[in-house]
Structure 1
Amino acid sequence: MTLEPGRSAVVLRCPTTSRYAGKPAEGDTVSNTDPTSGAGTPSRTVIRLALPLAALSLALSACTQGGPAAEPTEQETTVQSSTPEPSPAPSPTANGPSASPSPTPVPTAAAPPAASAGSALLTISVKQDAAAEPVQYILECVDGAPGPASTLPNAEAACATLARLGTGFFTARPNKDVICTQEYGGPQTASITGDLNGTSVLAAFALTDGCEISRWDRVRDILGTPGGQ
């Protein structure tokens, strides 16, 4: 700091943290350059010294406020270093596992078309006795109606009988636990073979007891009326 001629000059040094404002530190020099000052004017000397001291106080305050910032303590450094940093979320890689392709369904063999109800192609054979030659007829039914290949008399009623009884009647086996009446209906025998509603059938008929007579009677429109007893 430089003062005008005739004023007291002050050499200023910022004190350390142990010094306080308003008191010159060791090494600070306050000089009076006024040639007119003397020992006989103490009040004037005090005034002249007060002005530099006031300026010194202001300068010390500025040095104290603008001094270096306090360094962080060891505890603060430890807390800051121990705080975990958030790890970045893993980004999807381009070479990640891809979804496995779904298995290709194995084609199954197509089931044959089901025969419509009332369809039949049968051979009817009837014998009057064991020595007689069998008489054969063809019965064809298409959707319950006689087909062009039919040679059986009364084929329309015969097709209606097939539709009523179904395949179960012609494929059932005799029940041995059933007690049949002992009666004789005649020597006639008959058989029905062929395809009925997509099922192969082979059924034999006779008139040897009450059970067989009842079976023949149910297919009378196909086999005809049996002979007399």
Structure 2
Amino acid sequence: MAHAEGAVAMPLPAPVTTPVTTPGAVDRLTVTVRGAGRADGTYELKCHPHGGSHPDARGACGRLDRNTTWSRSPFTPVPPGTVCTMQYGGPATARITGTWAGRPVDASFDRRNGCEIARWDALVPVLPAVHRHR
């Protein structure tokens, strides 16, 4: 590719992969878990700074920060029509509501197939680690 004399080719900027946070905002989520045994319950999770009744607020906030970018939310559902393995990960379900990165959240989770299991596991420790039921 030819460049005008004296022009400097600049590399394209790297995609943004840093967490999306609003300065001074506290992210607040309510995490309700059912069917996961001892981890069942409703927990409040606050991030930036971390706190609330969640059993691992620091780890959960860190996981959410790592899984959030300008273009990706950790709460996005599996797209309709996605081909998923037909495996059952147990009866655990969860619902997360509140505000994250300045956006409202109302997300449901279960472990009914391989895609949903992977989606759940990507949020551990926000959601509890669940071992496959046989």
Same fold (TM over 0.5): yes
> What's the offset of the Cα at 1:173?
3.8
Task: Verify the 8 A CA contact 1:188 1:227 in the aligned structure 2.
Answer: no
Gaps of 5+ in 1: 1-113
Runs (4 or more) in structure 1 with deviation over 2 Å come to 114-119
Matched, 1:193 2:97: yes
Shift of 1:118: 8.2
- With over 3 angstroms needed to count, the CA separation of the structure-2 counterparts of 1:118 and 1:157, relative to structure 1, is farther
Q: What is the correspondence of 1:65-84 to structure 2 with a 5 Å cutoff?
A: none
| 1:136 shift after superposition | 0.1
- Read off the aligned partner of 1:174 and give its amino acid letter: V
Structure 1 equivalent of residue 57 of structure 2 = 155
Deviation at 1:115, TM superposition (A): 2.3
Find out whether 1:135 has 2:37 as its counterpart: no
Higher helix share: 1
Q: Partners in 1 of 2:28 and 2:91 — Cα distance?
A: 27
Does structure 2 retain, via aligned residues, the 8 Å contact 1:126–1:191? yes
Q: Which residue of structure 2 aligns with residue 98 of structure 1?
A: none
Secondary structure of 1:169 counterpart:
coil
In structure 2, C-alpha distance between the alignment counterparts of 1:197 and 1:146, rounded to whole Å: 14
Structure holding more strand per residue: 2
Could you tell me which amino acid in structure 2 is paired with residue 128 of structure 1? G
| Max Rg structure | 1
Matched position secondary structure for 2:59: helix
Deviations, residues 85-107 of structure 1 (Å, cap 9, x unaligned):
xxxxxxxxxxxxxxxxxxxxxxx
Instruction: Give secondary structure in 2 for the equivalent of 1:176.
Output: coil
Percent identity of equivalent pairs: 35
RCO greater where, 1 or 2, for CA within 8 Å and sep 6 or more?
Answer: 2
Structure 2: any 5+ residue segments left out of the alignment?
1-20
Map 1:59-208 to 2 at 5 A. Answer: 115-116=22-23, 119-128=26-35, 135-142=41-48, 145-147=49-51, 150-166=52-68, 168-170=73-75, 172-208=76-112
Going from structure 1 to structure 2, the CA distance change for 1:159 and 1:118 (only over 3 Å counts) comes to farther
Q: CA deviation at 1:117?
A: 8.6
CA distance, structure 1, for counterparts of residue 24 and residue 115 of structure 2 = 28
Say if 1:122 and 1:195, in contact at 8 Å, map to a contact too.
yes
State the alpha-carbon separation in 2 of the partners of residues 117 and 157 from structure 1: 20
State how far apart, in whole Å, the 1-side matches of 2:79 and 2:31 are: 24
Q: Contact (CA 8 Å) 2:74, 2:123: kept in 1 or not?
A: no
Count how many residue pairs are aligned between Structure 1 and Structure 2. Answer: 107
Given residue 123 of structure 1, which amino acid in structure 2 is its aligned partner?
A: T
Cα root mean square deviation, aligned: 2.2
Distance 1:117 1:226, change over 3 A: farther
Q: The residue matched to 1:161 in structure 2 has which SS?
A: helix
